[in-house]
Structure 1
Amino acid sequence: MRIDRTALADLACGAAFLGSGGGGDPYYARLLAEAELARHGAIGLVALEDLADDALVVPCGWIGAPTVSVEKLPSGRETVAGLRRMERILDRRIDAVMPVEIGGGNGLAPLTAAAQLGVPMVDADGMGRAFPESQMAIFNIRGLSACPSVLTDAGGSLVVVESVDNLAHERIARGVSVAMGGIAHMAEYPLSGRQAREHAIGGSVSAAIAIGAAVRRARGGGGDPFAALFDALRRSGLYARAGVLFDGKIVDLERETRNGFSVGRVAIEGFGEDGGRMLLEFQNENLVARRDGQVRAMVPDLITVMDRETADSITTERLKYGQRVKVVGAAAPPMLREARALDFVGPAAFGFAEGYVPIEALNGWDAGR
């Protein structure tokens, strides 16, 4: 498969949903990728099983507060600069790039480098959605090192990080991103092809493209984009259950940039007399959804706020008072629901007292929904 302009637009739509509110708005990443498509043509998308055992695969994406990215735009040179330095450190050429997370703008981030380096992007990622911290990648959960990693910014600064463990790496990299103005590009978790096959979440890029295509076709044909979305999620094999958690209007919003994250909460009032109220808490990504005090979804399951008419996903930095929205939930990929994974990406990892309960159990969804 190759990513052309149509597939790019579909990827942007699908990745925005899979970001669970985070990963950065894909709009500007899409513009950068469109410019590269115009220069270099369609970009190859390679399946995990087609990677050679000794291939060098480098995941990459942006680290920092999405609220900063709205005003501090990338130059377009950060990605390649970081990957070129990675090649010098490892003394070999990169064979393929991969999104460190499929969510939001980070799902598109490697495309610029893929085009300029003349390498494909792998149909996989490290999170199956977006998470706010680097050590929440499946690669760390499976015991792989994030280092060496390379951070770059729009002004040309570059920092190489070597750390004692991946939690220390996250703290150091987060501090560097703050010093770089609140956001930076990071290449991390360099992998062999064999490691990528064994540990990456395969098929997530093509799943995002299929999600976007389904929504696009529904809109164009006068169909229900939400029904199309749910069908595409089920067909992906990664997101088995999905549905609407709430339907209403944003009536209150608290948001601030703190320690390199966008953190806050949003209150949504339901339509009608019995509509109730839903409260979402977020740290870059939406973490927990409570309706009238009862949990309806929690990490690692996906929680995405969407325009109730167009089914456009709304990232946390784009939330505004008065928006009429649907809150949509989806089951996380099975790898993220394993007991060891929940230690890193479950509710306790974000300071919530509740133990993890799957979204389908919280909402009475059966496997076919």
Structure 2
Amino acid sequence: MSVPLNVIDLAADLIRHPSVSPDPGGSQIALGETLSAMGFTVTHLPFGEGDERTPNLFARLGAGGPHLCFAGHTDVVPPGSDDWTHGPYAGDVAGGRLYGRGACDMKGGIAAFVAAVSAFLARRPEPRGSISLLITGDEEGPAHFGTQKVLEWMRRNHEIPDFCVVGEPTNPAVMGEVIKIGRRGSINVHLTVHGRQGHVAYPHRADNPVHRLLRILSALTAEPLDEGSEWFEPSSLQVTGIDVGNPATNVIPARATAALNIRFNNLHTGGALRGWIETICQRYAPGTVVEAHISGESFLTKPGPEVAALADAVRTATGREPRLDTGGGTSDARFIALYCPVAEFGLVGTSMHQIDEHVAVDDLECLTRVYEDLLERMVA
């Protein structure tokens, strides 16, 4: 029987490969070598050109079903300030914690799954199902050449799994609190209202776009979008910016702009919300330019046997009853949900993106047990 890999060593090794988004590839090369040694068929899938070139990796062990996939990202946000107690890429362990950029978001999660697979295979060298990893280097960035492109490749090559677990840090404070079974959608909108510049003392000679923009924003925020749904909290529209670019006190500006974001539940689609905004703009300021970017639609994986298996694994490893939740920001699960059922469970996220990002050694070991139990329940 082979000796299982150590999760702390795996995570520290990944941290020591600097990989600010888009990951230049070193961490994925190291990960691919580890997986190849474990018997996985590893395919490196770079997409994009120039500065946008993004490394991605798909690795699979086995050919039968059920097929369980783990999804994660090796790219990280920049270190930021130099005020790190431990170097951002040192991978130091101190006081029962592993420090480094990506420790909790989410190289630690990747290491936990790989360590779990190695422990699982030590007991069951020939599982009945398949295990795969979908690893991108472009989750913290625009996500144009990452998970979406890999999923398209997976579909063309008949590699779509039966269930996918995303290893994002889902727990607010302690392990075992939250499993994400969905996420709200997100749409960013930029409005430009054009008018006619003029002197404030002669308003009849001008057309003030600010007044019409304010009427638009008042109409958009007058009533709640909804009261929530079975699994989702109410949708939220937030104005994030207003600008007229006018330093003068005696000039009516020629144009006024605003930015807003809507985090929406499964009662809406991004396209329908854009249409609603355009209708309001047409009513109060015909000719308003509406630019919208939908970064993701809402999605929900309704509780079923796979989610139940994950919840059982969390319960067994942590002794806590995990809450099924759909809050928070977006993740790459929004892309995966278009192809197969997906849920998210990972580490405690309190230090992600912060100076001295870290994860408790005990939490890494706990997450490894969760993933190992899930493998036992699904593909043994």
Q: Give the TM-score of the pair, scaled to structure 2.
A: 0.27
Q: Which has the larger radius of gyration?
A: 2
Greater fraction of residues in helix: 1
Q: Give the TM-score of the pair, scaled to structure 1.
A: 0.28
